[in-house]
Amino acid sequence: MIAMKKKVVLVQDNENILEIMDHVLTEEGFDVTPSLTIDPIQNIEQIDPDVVVIDDHIPGEVTGREVVADLKNDPQTENVPVILTSTSNRLPEQAEACRADDFIEKPFDIDHMVEVVKRNAEE
């Protein structure tokens, strides 16, 4: 029996960070849907990710925290683990306030980022 790859929706505000995270997570065996916009969040039911990693500062109308809160308030997506990323020194409080399952402070250590994503994808 072949184990299915864990799916990650990855939304970041910086193309370089997006590419690095996408590359590392793909190398770790994840099926990554990378984006600089929240477009994949609009199709979350079709993608059916095991974990969502989203930056708080995304270009456009909403913040990552608002997206997390929306996902957690929707019965269809409330059980999908969501990891908030940010450079904010108030990230732990912000992640808790929007009900994110975890957070990754930027700049991040690659090994720590992988560990947090793996831990949340397994739950």
What local confidence, expressed as pLDDT, does residue 4 receive?
84
User: Is residue 35, in this structure, part of any structural domain at all?
Assistant: yes
Closest CA to 4 of 29, 26, 37: 29
Question: Does some domain include residue 24?
Answer: yes
Low-confidence ranges of the chain (pLDDT < 50): none
Range of the domain at 96: 7-122
Q: How many domains does the chain have?
A: 1
Does 32 reside within a domain?
yes
Indicate which CATH number applies to the domain containing 59.
3.40.50.2300
Q: What's the pLDDT score for residue 1?
A: 62
Q: Cα 58 to the chain's mean position, in Å?
A: 12
Alpha helices in the chain (DSSP H): 15-27, 39-42, 44-47, 64-73, 91-97, 110-122
> Is there a domain that residue 2 lies in?
no
